Amino acid sequence: MTRWFGHLRLKVLAFGIAMSVLPVSIYGWYGLAAARTAQVEVVQAQNQAAARTVSEELARFVERITGQLQLLARLEGAGLVSAPAAEQERVLYTLLRDTPYLEEVSLVDASGAEVSRASRREVVAGQPAARYSGEPYWADLRRGESVVGPVTFDPHGRPLFTVGVPLPDGAGALIARPTLRGLVDNLAAVRAGGAVRTHVIDETGRLIGDSDFSLVLAGYRWAGVPAPDQPYGSLTGEEAFGYLAEVPGLGWRVLAETTVDDAMVPVRRLAWEFAGGALLMVSVVVGLSIVFGLQLTVPLERLEAGAVRVGSGDLSVRIPEGGRDELGRLVRAFNQMTERLRVQGESLRAERDLLDTAVSAMGAGLALIDARGRILWANRHLLEWFPDARVGGPCMAVLGRACTGGRCAPDGEYRVRIGGRERVLRYQNHRIAGAGPDGPARLEVIEDVTERRAMEQMVRQSEKLAAVGQLAAGVAHEINNPLAVISAYAEDLSDRLRDEGAAALEREGELAAYLAQLQFQVQRCKAITGNLLDFARQGSADPEPVDVAGVARATAALVAPRARRAGVAVAVDVPVALPAVRASRDQLQQVFLNLVTNALDAIEEGGGGRVWVTAEAVAGAPASEGPGVSDIGVAAGAGEVTRPESVVRVGVHDDGPGMDEDTLARALDPFFTTKPPGRGTGLGLSTCYGIITGLGGRFWLESRRGQGTRVWFELPVWEGE
């Protein structure tokens, strides 16, 4: 150990490591401690906001129920107690229908006897009338005061509480039983930061509302007040931070809590980022220490070794020169003794080594090929990728791309198996002017773009998933219609089965009719969700024959719910006999969806009411010869095509507000968007441009302020592979 540490380079390295690790560790410890304290404050602020919001909503809910009962009492008056039974039931069921979360309501006379009752879930006929004169709150009702009773649980485990309002002149009272389950389920959706859970607790400490209703059924209880900055054992047994808020006037409490695991996610992420940065910093310092150590020690070691070799008669040695200090002057004086004999050879070897280093660092396969197709030189990457290739051998059919009839496939990207794995390689040929018959005629450059293409596919998939999120609300709304029909039929069938029996319904054929209708509505739901799932699924990017009309109509079906809500007509004017194009169906549908969604966004923000898609088969032409290309002329070509009907030109049009020249000029720039924050990433049009040009097509825009926007793209007709 002493021998190794005696080397100067090891001392320099040890000093660099110590001076980098120690301050970074101290700074990191203090920084993470401060980040944890700040994160706890943020989480508690979120818990406080959530708890107060839910408590205020509960208080307003009870006030609304009480107000509706008081309004009904004033409108109907004392005469409601003596009104006909049918009139009483009509009034009570009307109140039940118009008041969400109200399970039942009773009309009680002055003696506390129930005169009439309406229930949302039970059949009232035939049940004995209840008496309320023995209830603790009856005396308050007789004094003309409105009351809110304690929370109880019905036989089904639902939490209910009582709201009572007296009738005028002491004629009786209206007593309602709202449920807390549906209300608390909706209120539990209140989030601050996405990880806050809310629990509602009554005055006895029992849990009466939670987004996880199984906790309510299990009878969980809560006691105590959570500390403002210390974790505690939550209702579910997890460590959590929490805030307790009182519900005004009810004696209930709302507990908002965030588990420690969820709360500390940003701190853990910061710790990992800091660890990565610290590791990078230590690596840089170690690298610098090695570099400076070598600059100090290598010249001395080389001078020692050179002196030994010169003393043995080897004059080929040449020590690299150092700086202008004493050590550098000594090295230069030493080199002058041997430079005259070896200067030219050493110079050539140094240049060759420098070139090999630069070429290897490019990460691409390079080969120099003469006019006869022989490989004159190849770098290490190319020889590793293609073991059959060798210097002096032919280049035909050994460099990955197919060659037939003495000619290889044109430049471009091809899938090639290397080392048992499929890779995407981009081939480029560069001709070398003035080459002799035995000299290099062209430079073959082969670049591995597998990861780049995979990243582009990930960006497109993220754009697709963002579009799925925008479509989800419309699809959910669309499914509500068949679900409402299913619910009504199922409820009616259940009532008839109970009243008439299954045998009678089957003899009359009505049971089959009910089932047929239920099955039809289920198929409607399946078709709606199927369209969304087909789009969200990540399909193949390999070219195939694709029906443009089918993809356009499928996309129109996806956006139909949103378009109907916005009052926008989406039309597809595409001939059925249109030839198939060479594309990926999955990618083409993403293009259509991005363009139609952009059109809907523009119409919703700036006016208009129509989006339509057109397509036609035309002869290939440059983008500048496209249909009415405007001032900007944004286009991308994939080569001239001269055969008639060799491409399909597609247009997506809208009558929205259009774009000015500045916006149009930047429309295809990645991450450029005019939408408000949270509504767009700025990748939609650039993704479409990348997909179409990657499929060998062209893409351009036409728009003027106040005249709508037209997006055009062309794809080659499928000619077979």
The full set of domains in the chain, from first to last, is: 1-263 (3.30.450.20), 267-360 (no CATH), 362-399+410-448 (3.30.450.20), 449-538 (1.10.287), 544-721 (3.30.565.10)
pLDDT value, residue 540: 54
Residues 6+ apart with CB under 8 A from 448: 363, 364, 423, 424, 425
- Rounded to 10 degrees, the C-alpha dihedral 337/342/347/348 comes to -170
Triad 155, 160, 165: Cα angle to 5°: 130
Q: In what order do the strands lie in the sheet with 232-233?
A: 207-210, 197-201, 253-259, 239-246, 232-233
> If 0-12 CB within 10 Å is exposed, 13-18 middle and 19+ buried, where does residue 582 land?
buried
CA distance 692 to 90: 64
Q: Give the pLDDT of residue 189.
A: 57
The neighbour count for residue 364, using CB atoms within 10 Å, is 17
Read off the tokens for 285: 């310092």
pLDDT at 622: 46
Q: What pairs with residue 448 in β-bridges?
A: 425
One DSSP character per residue, 449-497 reads -HHHHHHHHHHHHHHHHHHHHHHHHHHHHHHHHHHHHHHHHHHHHHHHH
Choose among 182, 163, 178, 154: nearest CA to 96: 178
pLDDT score, position 714: 93
What pLDDT shows up at residue 524? 53
Closest CA to 668 of 642, 635, 696: 635
Per-residue model confidence (pLDDT) at position 633: 35
pLDDT of residue 491: 63
Q: Is 425 left (phi over 0), alpha (psi -120 to 50) or beta?
A: beta
Q: Among candidates 476, 682, 299, which has minimal Cα distance to 307?
A: 299
- Please report where in the chains the tokens 């709360």 appear, as a residue: 263
The mean pLDDT values, 10 residues at a time, for the chain of 721 residues are 55 70 79 82 82 84 86 82 85 85 86 86 76 85 86 79 87 86 62 69 80 74 73 76 82 83 81 82 76 67 72 71 69 72 59 68 76 79 77 71 61 73 79 76 80 65 57 54 61 71 74 68 60 53 84 84 84 88 86 87 77 86 40 35 66 90 81 70 79 87 89 88 58
Length of the chain: 721
User: Whole-angstrom distance between the N-terminal and C-terminal Cα of the chain?
Assistant: 68
The whole-angstrom separation of Cα 684 and Cα 668 is: 9
Please tell me the number of Cα atoms within 13 Å of 665 on its side-chain side: 4
Distance CA(222)–CA(234), nearest Å, equals: 9
- Backbone φ/ψ region at 699: left (φ over 0), alpha (ψ -120 to 50), beta: beta
Residue type, 546: V
75 Ramachandran zone, left/alpha/beta (phi>0; psi -120 to 50): alpha
